[in-house]
């Protein structure tokens, strides 16, 4: 886990817990939605692990935003449709 930085945009443990509670998610449900173990959710809410400060990584903050917006999964940008093969003319 990353150590605490001076990033003023960093999500605080209280913000993370407020996010989870606003969505009415249990710690287990939040972990499943973010692809984490429940214990990691507990670390983020407490702000430390084994006495060491932990920072909530940017990718988790972005995932929290996506989950709050109703995004369950993401499989990349829309694919362009394959161009239709031109019909071959058969002139005899």
Give the structural domain span for 33. Answer: 13-68
> CATH number for the domain including 47?
1.10.260.40
What phi-psi label fits residue 27: left (phi over 0), alpha (psi between -120 and 50 degrees) or beta? alpha
Tokens of 71: 């995004």
Give the model confidence (pLDDT) of 15-61 as tens digits: 999 999 999 999 999 999 999 999 999 999 999 999 999 999 999 99
Q: Please check the confidence at residue 70 and state whether its pLDDT lies above 70.
A: yes
Residue 2's alpha-carbon distances to 47, 57, 68, 85, in angstroms, are 11, 7, 24, 51
Q: What is the DSSP letter of 77?
A: S
Look at residue 85 and tell me if it is in a domain.
no
Number of domains in the chain: 1
pLDDT of residue 80: 86
Look at residue 60 and tell me if it is in a domain.
yes
pLDDT of residue 13: 97
Phi, psi of 48 (to 5 degrees): -155, 160
Look at residue 77 and tell me if it is in a domain.
no
């Amino acid at each position: 886990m990353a150590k605490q930085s001076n990033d003023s945009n960093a999500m605080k443990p209280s913000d993370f817990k407020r996010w989870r509670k606003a969505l009415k998610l249990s710690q287990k449900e939040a972990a499943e939605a973010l692809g984490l173990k429940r214990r990691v959710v507990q670390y983020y809410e407490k702000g430390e692990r084994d006495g060491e400060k932990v920072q909530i990584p940017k990718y988790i903050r972005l995932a929290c935003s996506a989950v709050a917006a109703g995004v369950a999964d993401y499989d990349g940008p829309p694919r362009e449709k394959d161009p239709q093969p031109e019909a071959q003319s058969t002139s005899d």
